[in-house]
Amino acid sequence: MQVSSVAFHLDGSIAALFIVLGLGSMVARQMYASLRFFMWQAIALTLSALVLAASLQAINLLWVAIITFVTKVIAVPLVLRWAAGAEVYGRREVDQVIGIPTTVLAAAMLALLGWFAVAPTLPLLQGVPFAPLNLPTGLIMVLWGAFTVAIRRESVAQLMGLLLMENGAFFGSIAIVHNLTVIAEIAAAVDVPIVALVIGLLIRNIRRVTGSTRVSELDRLHER
């Protein structure tokens, strides 16, 4: 399928913005800033879905864009603020195992790893015009999200890593699977705020018992 060069370059710009916003969420030292980067990244994901919907004439991707915006830009932040508590996002810094310079260096190495991992599969997707852009970008974000979970000591901050992974998986998948039914798309999208709600409530209860959201404090929880 042939697509216009304008659409291809526009999607490439969105992919670059998607990466920058993901890196911002990784290195942000305040939870509120990390959440804001996630919201803007979800908007970039929405824009990519709109570009692909117009270029591929795929009405399902239009629904993906709408559902993504409603769930990730509106619902998930509201659910997290309510479930985890606004005081969690008022903290000055997020505790991490390594510093920001080391985090950026590791992110660059993971980006190279993601690119080289996807490269052998791209010749098999020659009929999928946006796969060379979206698929590597999505895999890189999945790796960055997993890395964020690994290096952060705060349970709320680790949840942001899981959300980054989900954004990456969606960004890559919309380029290669754009003919899902609306029911499947709604089911996949609704899972995200539900997971955020459940984990947010767990975080609230952990904080009430231990007085902290640090994962190292979980050994203070015991069955009564």
In a domain, 223, yes or no: no
pLDDT in the model for residue 100: 84
User: Whole-prediction pTM value?
Assistant: 0.81
From the centroid of its chain, how far is CA 82? 20
Of 45 and 33, more confident:
45
Domain that holds residue 104: 5-217
pLDDT in the model for residue 44: 94
Q: How many CB atoms lie within 10 A of CB 211?
A: 10
Give backbone dihedrals phi and psi of 177, rounded to 5 degrees, phi first.
-130, 90
pLDDT in the model for residue 123: 82
Give backbone dihedrals phi and psi of 104, rounded to 5 degrees, phi first.
-65, -40
Estimate the crossing angle of helix 76-84 against helix 155-176, to 10 degrees.
Answer: 160
Of 203 and 5, more confident:
5
- In the structure, what pLDDT confidence band is assigned to residue 63 with cuts at 50, 70 and 90? confident
DSSP letter for 71, please: I
- Among 48-52, 65-69, 72-76, 197-201, where is mean pLDDT lowest? 197-201
Distance between CA atoms of residues 25 and 37, nearest Å = 5
Burial class (CB in 10 A: 0-12, 13-18, 19+), 176: middle
pLDDT in the model for residue 224: 47
Asked whether residue 129 carries a pLDDT value surpassing 60, the answer given is yes
In a domain, 224, yes or no: no
pLDDT digits (tens, 9 = 90+) for 99-109: 888 989 999 99
pLDDT digits (tens, 9 = 90+) for 17-34: 999 999 998 888 787 788
pLDDT in the model for residue 29: 79
Q: Which of 133, 124, 152, 118 minimizes the C-alpha distance to 34? A: 152
83 token code pair: 């479930």
